[in-house]
Amino acid sequence: MGFEGTIMAIKAQPGVMDIALYKGGKSHVDGIENVLKLSSNENPFGASDAAKDALVRASHELHRYPSTDHAALRRAIADVWHLDAERIICGNGSGEVLMMIAQAYAGPGDEVLFTEHGFAMYPIYANANGATPVVVKERERVVDVDALLAACTENTKIVYIANPANPTGTMIGEADVARLADGIPQGAILVLDGAYAEYVEGYDAGKALVESRDNVIMTRTFSKIYGLGGLRIGYGYAPQPIIDVLMRVRGPFNLSAPALVAAEAAMRDAAHTAKCRAENTKQRDWMARALAEMGLPSDTSTANFILARFASAEEALACNDYLMSQGILLRYVGGYGLPNCLRITVGDEASCRRVVHAIGQFKRGEV
Ligand SMILES: Cc1ncc(COP(=O)(O)O)c(C=O)c1O
């Protein structure tokens, strides 16, 4: 067999070639220096100083392998959020935990449910493991529990929802989440993706549901409010039997030593987290009102971004292009089934004013 024959014989697992490559938010514009990146829901205040100091200290120990049980980080998470440390699993971003759940529980013949405007990685987790992705309608950009329950079959193994959701920013209440958990078929798991949970004052991200049921997992991340997206750290909280399964598919050194100590310091810096939450709420509410006054409505966002609705896809794209020419990067979310929308990350005060000013210029035709 020649070289070509060998290539033809080497085949990816079923589903892998159905994956559309994930596109992250843009971070550069050719020829523009003062770029304002509001395309990836990053924290405009960066990480806590305590996390940065921990990272510098860790640089002296780079020749050492990291801990495999992440005990100190799990302890910090458990202390701050009043969780059982034994039931926490840490991942290389919450994305890795979400993927491990699919790896462990979904394969060929199994169905993985998520909603039409849900996070773009959910179908990738399904396809990467040979399972069948099933898209379920939302109701006016809000997760529809009845539609999800109606879409369940005996093959349903995982239901992923983000609460708050990305890119809509909307949330459903605890009673609805509980109804979903209680209504999915026996043997299926509800995954509550809480990437933006810390932005919601007083929200437990699903802790009570995880602790009172055997079929709910919650995931959370250090990439958003903790400002550590570049280090890749997230975690899951689940009933013990599920943790025992997930620990078997997790790589022993999946988190680097610098990431572990930085995350631990970030988790314990409650003042920085509180400041980021308060500032986000203030700027988000100001920006939503300012946009509405220009004729750009948005659903009430509970996260660190706003989904602005334009009159048409053409207008949204034209505004996106204009902003890009001004060095402001937003996320066009046509690929999320929202062709007339732009997602705008909430920045600091100056950034919010800059983006609102530029959108105002566009709306008034001063371009
Ligand atoms: C809804 C949602 N879930 C999960 C993630 C994954 O985050 P990470 O892997 O950085 O923890 C993101 C990132 O944007 C997200 O928006």
Give the angle 35-40-44 at the CA atoms, nearest 5°: 65
Three-class secondary structure assignment of 94-158: HHHHHHHHHHHHCCCCCEEEEECCCCCHHHHHHHHCCCEEEEECCECCECCHHHHHHHCCCCEEE
Q: What is the mean pLDDT of residues 54-59?
A: 97
Q: Whose CA is nearest to atom 16 of ligand 1?
A: 166
CB-ligand 1 contact for 229 (6 Å cutoff): yes
DSSP code per residue over 298-350: -PPP-SSEEEEEPSSHHHHHHHHHHHHHTTEE-EE-GGGT-TTEEEEE---HH
Residue 285 pLDDT grade (very low, low, confident, very high; cuts 50, 70, 90) = very high
Q: What is the pLDDT of residue 26?
A: 74
Could you read off the pLDDT of 195-232 as tens digits, one per residue?
A: 999 999 999 999 999 999 999 999 999 999 999 999 99
Q: Is the pLDDT of residue 30 over 90?
A: no
* Residue 182 Cα to ligand 1 middle (Å): 25
**pTM of this structure:** 0.95
Angle in degrees, 0-180, between the axes of helices 349-363 and 313-325, rounded to the nearest 10: 120
Token duo for residue 317: 């794209």
Judged by average pLDDT, the poorest of 21-35, 267-281, 324-338 is 21-35
Q: Is the pLDDT of residue 107 over 80?
A: yes
CB-ligand 1 contact for 89 (6 Å cutoff): no
Q: What is the mean pLDDT of residues 300-320?
A: 98
d(CA 298, CA 259): 35
| Segment (H or E) for 191 | strand 189-193
CB-ligand 1 contact for 93 (6 Å cutoff): yes
* Residue 219 Cα to ligand 1 middle (Å): 9
Helices then strands, each counted (H, E), the chain:
13, 12
Q: Whose CA is nearest to atom 15 of ligand 1?
A: 195
Among 39, 122, 166, say which to mutate for ligand 1: greatest number of ligand atoms within 8 Å of CB.
166
Q: Which atom of ligand 1 is nearest to the CA of 40?
A: 14
Could you read off the pLDDT of 231-258 as tens digits, one per residue?
A: 999 999 999 999 999 999 999 999 999 9
Half-sphere exposure for 65 (CA within 13 Å, toward CB): 6
Q: Are 133 and 114 contacting, i.e. CB atoms less than 8 angstroms apart?
A: yes
Q: Is the pLDDT of residue 58 over 60?
A: yes
Q: What is the pLDDT of residue 6?
A: 64
Across the beta sheet with 341-345, what order do the strands follow?
305-309, 341-345, 331-332
Q: Whose CA is nearest to atom 12 of ligand 1?
A: 195
Among 22, 94, 96, 160, say which to mutate for ligand 1: greatest number of ligand atoms within 8 Å of CB.
94
Tell me phi and psi for residue 323, to 5 degrees: -60, -40
Residue 7 pLDDT grade (very low, low, confident, very high; cuts 50, 70, 90) = low
Q: What is the mean pLDDT of residues 189-200?
A: 98
Instruction: Look up tokens 């939302």; give the residue.
Output: 138
Q: Whose CA is nearest to atom 2 of ligand 1?
A: 195
Q: Are 262 and 272 contacting, i.e. CB atoms less than 8 angstroms apart?
A: no
The full length of the chain comes to 367
Which of 31, 40, 24, 26 lies closest to 326 in space, CA to CA? 31
